Amino acid sequence: AQSVTQPDIHITVSEGASLELRCNYSYGATPYLFWYVQSPGQGLQLLLKYFSGDTLVQGIKGFEAEFKRSQSSFNLRKPSVHWSDAAEYFCAVGARREYGNKLVFGAGTILRVKS
Amino acid sequence: EAQVTQNPRYLITVTGKKLTVTCSQNMNHEYMSWYRQDPGLGLRQIYYSMNVEVTDKGDVPEGYKVSRKEKRNFPLILESPSPNQTSLYFCASSSPGQRQETQYFGPGTRLLVL
């Protein structure tokens, strides 16, 4: 069965500092991987996705993520955090057409940005 | 504009009073799902549908029903809501085509069951 682990429940970074959010997944085949962001009181916004090919994927808002098969990881990075990045971030693995393209989500990481 | 809509966005109800949350998508997607979001648990799939009249249970189906009579609509029905169904609900749609497996999420419905 698929599973996603986000080891950090909360992370606090200073504005302008770099950011890395960790994500580890368990999936039997080549995974489809996603990062979503949820601002307070808002819905989910897709930041980026990995289906195949280049293991470093670029997303919106200056985010990128790197797929490392050997480590079963898909960590999200940003070189310089802005105060508006404060939100909850979810990593998800896709079931690839099974179960209606089901996504299995991690528990989320809440990012706080201090000025 | 491609979108998934949900109604209502906010709902307060009492235990046992039947309610329906509607979901509609305008992208002609075959697949639709319902998820619930709870703190510390992320989102979990409740039910999914892979086409009209084809529905199946997800990971947390207890206490919920769905129907898919039209391709664009996928309502979530709580026949006898209980307080443990207080949650944030998201509807999602997608296509089975290659590289199309990105879920488009609705804005969410926040439900409080008293």
Q: Give the pLDDT band of residue B11 (cuts 50, 70, 90).
A: very high
**8 Å CB contact of A100 and B90:** no
pLDDT tens digits for range A38-87: 998 888 999 999 988 889 999 999 999 999 999 999 999 999 999 999 99
User: Average of pLDDT values for A76-100?
Assistant: 91
Subunit contact B42:A46, Cβ cutoff 8 A = no
Q: What is the pLDDT of residues B20-78, one digit of tens each?
A: 999 999 999 999 999 999 999 999 999 999 999 999 999 999 999 999 999 999 999 99
Query: What single letter denotes the amino acid at residue A61?
Result: K
Q: Nearest by CB to B101, which of A32, A43, A106? A: A32
Give the C-alpha separation, A31 to A35, whole Å.
13
Is B58 in Cβ contact with A99 (below 8 Å)? Answer: yes
| b/e code A7-34 from CB counts within 10 Å (16+ = b) | eeeebebeeeeebebbbbbebeeebbbb
Nearest in space to A75 (alpha carbons), one of A95, A56, A60? A56
Please say if the pLDDT value at position B98 is more than 60: no
Residues 6 or more apart from A22 whose CB is under 8 A from it? A6, A7, A8, A73, A75, A109
Residue type, A76: L
Backbone angles phi, psi at A37, to 5 degrees: -125, 145
